[in-house]
Structure 1
Amino acid sequence: MRFSVNKSEKYTVLVPEEEKLDSLKAPQLKAEIVTMFQSGTENLIIDLSSVKYVDSSGLSSILVANRLSTEVNGKLVLAGLNEHVMKLIKISKLESVLELHPTVQEAIEAIFLHEIEKDIEGEED
């Protein structure tokens, strides 16, 4: 599976460079996601703008990322979802579980807002 990774101080952007995120590709994506979190990633943006099709295996990889980010008090944000992928998320009733944004820039803003909220909560403790 081809993908690119762009790391910054507060977040990592993972861009699958495949049209399908299915049972053939999902295990590689899941392995990369696990490695990222083991290496210290807290906030992950997955840019799905190139992905045209996702099956249950692909969705499982996304849910693993969501669980891992939650475990480290981080955030997973999905960006650039096409109509098919959005439909699968809605059918699966995950639109209230996953944070979805139309663009990577909006996803980055959501990460920064999350970081500000974490800082404020830390000051209150």
Structure 2
Amino acid sequence: MNFAVDTVGDVKIFRLKENRLDTHIASELKAQLLVLLDGEELRVLVDLAETEYADSSGLGALLLGVRQAREIGGKFCIFGARNRVKNLIHIAHLEDVVQNFADEKSAIDAINSDD
């Protein structure tokens, strides 16, 4: 799995550099998100701008990130999701669970807010 991790202030940005978020990389993504959300990183964003396709296992990896962040009192959001990924989130009725922002700035502003 190709990815990069950047830091902006106290926000970690996991940049997924894969065309597909599916069963072939979901388990590795889960492992990487658990490493990031180890109790020290409370704000994690996942950049999906390069990801054109996701399946249920990929969505499951993102849900693991949401759940882990909540357990440690942190925040987890995605940004840059393309239409196919947004549609999967919509079909699964998870728009209120997996927060998706159009761009990095909007996501950083939201994840740094106090609400």
User: What is the TM-score with the length of structure 2 in the denominator?
Assistant: 0.95
Q: How far does residue 38 in structure 1 lie from its aligned partner after superposition? A: 1.6
SS at match of 2:44: strand
Indicate how the Cα distance of structure 1 residues 69 and 29 shifts in structure 2: closer, same or farther if over 3 A, else same: same
Query: RMSD between aligned alpha carbons?
Result: 1.1
Q: How far does residue 8 in structure 1 lie from its aligned partner after superposition? A: 3.8
Q: Distance in 1 between matches of 2:97 and 2:21?
A: 20
Q: Which structure 2 residues correspond to residues 26-105 of structure 1 after superposition, within 5 A?
A: 26-38=26-38, 40-105=40-105
Q: Which residue of 2 aligns with 1:12?
A: 12
Report percent identity of matched pairs.
Answer: 30
SS at match of 1:24: helix
Q: Distance in 2 between matches of 1:77 and 1:50?
A: 16
SS at match of 1:14: strand
Contact 2:65–2:76, Cα closer than 8 Å, also in 1: yes
Q: Output the amino acid matched with 2:87.
A: K
Contact 2:39–2:72, Cα closer than 8 Å, also in 1: no
Q: How far does residue 111 in structure 1 lie from its aligned partner after superposition? A: 1.4
Count of aligned positions = 115
Unaligned ranges ≥5, structure 1: 118-125
Q: Output the amino acid matched with 1:24.
A: H
Q: Distance in 1 between matches of 2:111 and 2:10?
A: 8
SS at match of 1:13: strand
Q: How far does residue 9 in structure 1 lie from its aligned partner after superposition? A: 4.0
SS at match of 1:58: helix
Q: How far does residue 7 in structure 1 lie from its aligned partner after superposition? A: 2.2
